[in-house]
């Protein structure tokens, strides 16, 4: 009975003419189940894995921040606070699905199969950080805000034309939902019923611009209405809710019904990036404290502990294992060959023109001395 109710609820949410944009939640900040009908059917091992993934991501964030401060990493966009939104969504996907992440979505890439050292090389601006195996269904993180929506839409159309049972998935922030590429992507995908899942990770701030100044729309998910596709608002600090909605959206898309837009309500603790942003200059006092009570790790930890599935000892094991994984990945990244100007020029063209080839020869002569 409960399973039928859950299915009926999801079917309602996934109707293009559904105008109920109330937030979907499965567990509250205390870790109590508030919506049994939407509780995903996961084994104890799968429930624990979700927590391990979030702890892994939190430690990856902490170590990446430290490595950036030491000058051992380049560009880095903090993920602290968005673990449930990121890891809950990618956990509901399959290896054959295609990922189109934004620059804050490196954890999803790694969990989808990208070697950690490649992620570090991407942060350093090394060409090897953008070199993926042919069988790895993902694109490197997009720096241009919102541009990944167009890429995901194109891939989704290709997936449909090729008859594959897969989806193209992309993430952007609330600021990305104000870009032209966002509207073009969801509109074109909707028109062609392409199997895509579009995420808006509404973390409250587009750098320093608050969400309420970006759009007069009460929710960002309702922007899906104009494209004729379903739009769902989900508690982005609740990993079970994110997982359940993503899973249902994937099934909906691969069944030939078209794309889904999902807005995850979350929060980024700390700066937009580590490139000089200072959130204390524009965020009102007390905002962080309010959101810390909704920390996705605390919430899910409470849920698992009540079921007897988690302990401090277990968490320490994951932390130590993650630190060792990061340590080894940095060693591998450090062994990557130094980049050369001649290589940049070679990578620019498959067949260099005369002037470019002349430049390549000139720089190679200098580099080989």
Active site residues: 268, 272, 282
- Three-state secondary structure readout of 268-326: CCCCCCCCCCCHHHCCCCCHHHHHHCCCHHHHHHHHHHHCCCCCHHHHHHHHHHHHHHH
Greatest alpha-carbon pair distance for the chain in Å reads: 76
Q: Say how far apart CA 154 and CA 14 lie, in whole Å.
A: 22
**Tokens at 326, concatenated:** 């990061």
How far, in whole angstroms, is CA 337 from its chain's centroid? 29
Closest CA to 238 of 42, 123, 63, 87: 87
Task: Report CA-CA distances (Å) from 68 to 78, 151, 292.
Answer: 11, 29, 24
**Tokens at 151, concatenated:** 């890429």
């Amino acid at each position: 009975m409960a399973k039928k109710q859950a299915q009926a609820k999801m079917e309602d949410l996934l109707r293009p003419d559904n105008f109920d944009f109330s937030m979907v939640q499965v567990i509250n900040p205390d870790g109590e189940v508030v919506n049994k009908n939407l509780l995903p059917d996961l084994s104890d091992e799968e429930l624990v894995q979700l927590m391990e993934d979030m702890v892994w991501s939190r430690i990856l964030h902490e170590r990446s921040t430290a490595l950036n401060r030491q000058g051992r990493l380049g560009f880095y966009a903090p993920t602290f606070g968005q673990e449930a939104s990121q890891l809950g969504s990618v956990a509901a996907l399959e290896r054959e699905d295609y990922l189109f992440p934004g620059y804050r979505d490196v954890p999803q890439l790694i969990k989808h199969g990208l070697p950690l050292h490649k992620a570090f090389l991407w942060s350093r601006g090394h060409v090897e950080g953008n070199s993926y195996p042919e069988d790895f269904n993902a694109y490197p993180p997009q720096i241009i805000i919102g541009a990944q929506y167009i890429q995901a839409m194109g891939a989704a159309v290709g997936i449909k034309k090729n008859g594959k049972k897969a989806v193209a998935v992309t993430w952007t922030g609330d600021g990305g939902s104000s870009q032209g590429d966002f509207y073009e992507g969801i509109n074109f995908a909707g028109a062609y019923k392409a199997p895509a899942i579009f995420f808006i990770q509404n973390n409250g701030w587009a750098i320093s611009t608050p969400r309420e100044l970006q759009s007069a729309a009460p929710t960002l998910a309702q922007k899906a209405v104009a494209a004729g596709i379903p739009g769902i608002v989900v508690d982005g600090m609740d990993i079970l809710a994110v997982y359940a909605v993503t899973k249902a959206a994937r099934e909906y898309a691969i069944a030939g019904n078209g794309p889904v837009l999902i807005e995850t309500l979350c929060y980024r603790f700390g700066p937009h990036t580590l490139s000089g942003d200072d959130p204390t200059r524009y965020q009102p006092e007390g905002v962080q404290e309010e959101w810390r009570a909704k920390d996705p790790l605390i919430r899910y930890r409470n849920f698992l502990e009540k079921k007897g599935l988690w302990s401090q000892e277990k968490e320490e094991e994951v932390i130590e294992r993650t630190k060792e994984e990061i340590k080894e990945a940095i060693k591998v990244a450090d062994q990557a060959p130094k980049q050369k100007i001649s290589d940049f020029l070679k990578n620019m063209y498959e067949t260099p023109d005369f002037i470019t080839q002349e430049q390549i020869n000139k720089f190679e002569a200098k580099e080989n001395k």
